[in-house]
Each structure stands twice: as structure tokens, then as C-alpha cells.
Amino acid sequence: MKSVFEFSIKYFKRLDKTLLLLCLMASASSVFLLYTMYYNGVNPAVVSSRNWIMQLLSSGVGVIFALVLAGINYRFLSKIWFIPAALGLTLSLLLFTSLGVRTPGAPDLNWLDLGFIEIQPSAFLRVAFVLTFATHINKVSDRLNEIKHMSLLCLHGAIPAGLVFIQEDQGTTVILIGIFLIMLFAAGLSWKYIAAGIVATPVILYFLWNVVAQQHHKDRILVLFDREMQESEMLGTFYQQWGGLRALSSGGLTGKGFFGGEEAEYVHVYAIHNDFMFAYVGMVAGFVGCILAVLLLMSICFRTIIASGTSKDFLGRMLCLGVFAIIFFESAVNIGMVLAITPVAGSQLPFISAGGSTSLALWLAIGLVLSVRFHRRREHHMFYEDD
């Protein structure tokens, strides 16, 4: 009993309590916002008590998993990379069976109906990719810029990104590409490859626009720059973003209040509880609330960078930067979408938007960062000792 007590004291002493607290604040804010959304009767067609209850449960389970992962050496997790990789890919491939469900009103094939629950495989695929890609980079770090290894790394990144792209999940595709680029650049990518990428960018964009992109993809981009098209597509392509902007700006400086009751009029923002949660923050908490939400997410990102800088090895740095990239790009894509400066891409606001799969996956990612911070020294390793 004494040894268990002593281990518990040492465990919490070594835990990154600041990062844990910041993420808990974000998850608690999500549950509270979803409860007020339900209480105020916002868009009852899609918002119910189930949203805040599921968010509470998934966040609670996620915290437990993160705390367990913190005590497991991340180098051991790296050695069993094939397990999360197999799970992530299997869940994603099951989408192309009868278990796959498309998002209502959208072409996205990103929900897996298991009968008793629906999950979003792409959320877990992101975390699996960070772990496997960090492991891959770590193994070839001294030969990173050799053509053979660079080709294999690019193939590694292309597999999950391509798999998600054919699911019509453009938001996750962009996030995976962002993770790939951040980790590769931080690993010491040669300027020769960077220069070649810059030169090739116009050609790639031309190919994507004229060969890959379908008309509805182009419309989502064109409508951002064409005022007349915005007016003509107010009930079409621009419908969601127009509703989101209207809801976001309605809160003014300090918002209408969390229990004002006026929020129910904004039923036209269909995905206000997940993809457009930032608009709801602006509606009930105003500009001040939006700034606080952004600062909270920035603080979480900053803390993951600190964890990267204090890591004792290259693998730990790569893991932390990968998790940073998940949160940063998901935040940027979501907020840009709500502000109508980037196209609608089906991305959620990390920790804050409704979504059990996303919330749980983010806490698993935070567990990796906590593990890196926890195991900066040799002692207190669980299941694994350094070589």
C-alpha cells in the first residue's frame, strides 16, 4: 500500500498538470456550451440532450485513457505502432462496407455504424498516423533526405490522406497533409526538397483544380471571393457559412448570454453544435468569448511545443509536434470555415465541438504528449525501460 501511495505521489508530481488542466477546461467548456444549446432549444432537429451527455462521457473516458498513456513510456508505444495503425486503417476501410454512413446533406462518407454506436474513424486515424509517422521518421532520421527514404515517407503520408480524400472528407485530408509537412520539416527536411515543392506547387494546384476537384469543391472555394455568387447561393453553397457568420456576429462584444433564450432563432445553422460551434461561441459569449476560446486552444498548442522542446529524444519531439499539428490545423480549418475565409471542410473545433470520436481521439493524442513529458527522465517508466 505504501509503495502504491508513493508511486501515486511521484506520478502526479511528474504529470504535466498545466496541459491537463488546459484540456480539461476546453472539454468542460464544450459540455457546458452543448448543455446551454440544448436548454435554449437551438436547432432541436439536430441538437438534443444526447449531445452534451455523450460529450461528457467521451471526455471522461478520454481523460482516463490519457492518464494511463502518460504512465506508459512512449518508446514502448512506438514499438507497437502496428496495433494503432491496423485499428485506424481497418476502421477506415470498413466505411466502404455496408457499415459506412454518409453525413446527412453532405457527400462525406465518414461515419461507421456499429449498431450500438456510431464512430468517426478519421479522428483515430489522425492519432495513429502521428504515432506511426513519428516512429518512421525516428528510424530514418540520419538518412531522412535520401531519395529512397523520402519516397517511403511520402508514401506513408499519402496512404491515410488518400484514404480520407476518397471518403470526401476534405477537412481531415488537409489536416493530415498539414501534420505530414510539419513533422517532415521539423525532422530536418532538406531545402532542396522544399524548393522543389515550391516550384511544383502551381502545377499541383492546376492538376487538383482541373482534374481532381469536382464542381461542388470549386463552388465552395469560388463563393468565398465572389460577392454576387454569395448572394445567389445564400440558400445553396454559401448557406452554412452565411448562417454561421450571422450567428457569430449577432453576439456583439460580450454575447447574448448563455441562457438568454434568443439563440433558438438560429435554426438555419445546421451543424452549429459541431462544425459551426465557434459561431455559437460568438453568439452567446461574443467577441470576448471567441478570443478566450482561441487563447485556450493556442495555450494547448504552445504547451505541446514546450513538451517537444523538453523531450529527451527525437521520437518524443516528433510525437509532440504531430499532436500540435492536429490541434493547430483542426482549429485553423474550423475557425477559417466559420469566418468564411476558407471553404466548408467538415472540421471541428478541437475539444469544444460536439463529437465523441473526436473528443476521445484528441485525449488519446494528449496522452502521447503527457507520456513524453512524464518520461523525460529514466525513472517511473511503466511496462518499458530505456535501452
What CA–CA distances, in Å, run from 34 to 29, 272, 281, 347? 8, 10, 10, 17
- For residues 220 and 336, which has the higher predicted lDDT (pLDDT)? 336
Quick one: pLDDT at residue 383? 44
Q: What is the pLDDT of residues 44-81, one digit of tens each?
A: 778 888 999 999 999 999 999 999 999 899 999 999 99
Quick one: pLDDT at residue 154? 95
**pTM of the full structure:** 0.91
Quick one: pLDDT at residue 221? 79
Q: What is the pLDDT of residues 367-384, one digit of tens each?
A: 999 999 988 765 444 444
pLDDT at 277 over 70: yes
Query: If pLDDT is split at 50, 70 and 90, which confidence band does 342 have?
Result: confident
Mean per-residue pLDDT over the chain, rounded? 86
Question: Which residues pair with residue 101 across a beta bridge?
Answer: 111
Quick one: pLDDT at residue 242? 80
Contact 92, 164 (CB under 8 A): yes
Quick one: pLDDT at residue 384? 46
Rounded CA separation 264/33 (Å): 14
3-state helix/strand/coil string of 91-153: HHHHCCCCCEEECCCCCCEEEEECCCCEECHHHHHHHHHHHHHHHHHHHCHHHCCCHHHHHHH
Rounded CA separation 9/12 (Å): 6
pLDDT at 288 over 90: yes
Quick one: pLDDT at residue 77? 94
Give the whole-number percent of the chain exceeding pLDDT 70: 89
pLDDT at 317 over 70: yes
Quick one: pLDDT at residue 385? 46
Q: Which three cell numbers stand for residue 24?
A: 480539461
- Once rounded to an integer, what is the mean pLDDT over residues 104-126? 81
Residue 35: CB atoms within 10 A of its CB come to 18
Quick one: pLDDT at residue 153? 95
Lowest mean pLDDT among 30-34, 183-187, 232-236, 370-374: 232-236
Quick one: pLDDT at residue 265? 56
Going by C-alpha positions, the residue among 379, 296, 375 that lies closest to residue 335 is 296
Question: Which residues pair with residue 102 across a beta bridge?
Answer: 109
Residue 250: CB atoms within 10 A of its CB come to 18
Quick one: pLDDT at residue 381? 45
pLDDT at 232 over 70: no
Quick one: pLDDT at residue 349? 94
Quick one: pLDDT at residue 148? 93
